[in-house]
Amino acid sequence: MSVGIVSYGSYIPRYRIKVEDIARVWGEDAETLKAGLMVSEKSVPDLDEDAATIAVESARAAIENGNIDPVRIGAVYTGSESHPYAVKPTSTIVAEAISATPVMTAADFEFACKAGSATVQSCMGLTSSGMIDLGMGIGADVSQGAPGDALEYTAASGGVAFIMGDNESEPIALIEDTYSFTTDTPDFWRREGSEFPQHGGRFTGEPGYFKHVIGASKGLMEKMGTGPEDYDYAVFHQPNGKFPTRVSKELGFSRDKIEPGMVITKLGNIYSGSCMMGIAATLDQAKPGDRIFATAFGSGAGADAFSIKVTDKMEQFQKYSPKVWDQLKDPVYVDYAKYAKHKGKLKRS
């Protein structure tokens, strides 16, 4: 398979809120929460930022980082749980902003936290079939969590765009294979018109995250005849720090292999972009020939696993592209009141 990642770009808001500031409002013990979640702070959108603006910034970064002619992009797909419009695509906004219109196709994807990885698989299919030259898959979210809910400590904001192509001379990383594992498991949901999602709390981990991530991961390795020892890095969806740490251990990946992509500790969970951001952070430091194993998870529930191999084009790409961990430096911290204002949790009658 010659289809792969030709370029990628990410965007993370500068604003952050610390776990201590959220815990103080709700009378919770911050140290216990930080130890349990393995998260110390999370990103907060600016007052004028939503999933569309974040997707646009990520897309522009991917175009610039790879010096891509946007006219070549024949598809733009945006995966998100927080599309700003119920009826009006985010992806057309992105396509217009990067000057990819009008000869192209666009659509919005939804599948909880793996909507982003679904866009990547779709772009893989379109490019490898020859229907389009390049395809852009985006995972972007301004994640929701009700005030006082456990999700509030991790639900964050950010986005990642991958440009996929099938020209053998272009990819900085090849997608060797992919494998999906999907069932109807209602571990997390938000009905139309509801402002915040609901979930089954601590009872959702085993039937949701672990069953599907392990199912997809083992399925791909069995399909390819590979094992953890064949990969230099691993990335798993990061709803918190504990879940990917545990699942990597269960699958046989050592801690040092997941560490480069563990952005959850300083970023929080950006839902549709979570696994993609971990992949981007890992690609930032990977060397030609390195192999990355990655599995995205989305409640509802499903998981997409990928085997990625870095090409010799990566070294040149890394010289000019901003690094994910660098974007997490120099944050602007806000207190809970400003956080609530930025997130639109304060309503005027």
Residues identified as active-site: 81, 113, 237
φ, ψ of residue 251 in degrees (nearest 5)? -85, -10
Helix (H) or strand (E) holding 42: strand 41-44
Give one DSSP letter per residue of 221-276, joined into a string: HHHHT--GGG-SEEEE--SSSHHHHHHHHHHT--HHHHGGG-THHHH-B-GGGHHH
Question: What does the alpha-carbon distance between residue 325 and residue 97 come to, in Å, rounded to a whole number?
Answer: 26
Beta bridge partners of 181: 303
Contacts of 138 (CB under 8 A, 6+ apart): 55, 58, 59, 76, 77, 78, 79, 91, 94, 116, 119, 159, 160, 161, 162, 273
Is 17:334 a contact under the CB 8 Å cutoff? yes
Between the alpha carbon of residue 319 and those of residues 171, 209, 216, 284, the distances in Å are 16, 36, 33, 10
Residue 1: CB atoms within 10 A of its CB come to 13
Is 93:124 a contact under the CB 8 Å cutoff? no
Give one DSSP letter per residue of 198-209, joined into a string: EE-GGGGIIIII
Instruction: Supply 320's token pair.
Output: 């000019």
Is 267:61 a contact under the CB 8 Å cutoff? no
For residue 231, the number of C-alpha atoms closer than 13 Å in the C-beta half-sphere is: 29
Question: What does the alpha-carbon distance between residue 110 and residue 88 come to, in Å, rounded to a whole number?
Answer: 14
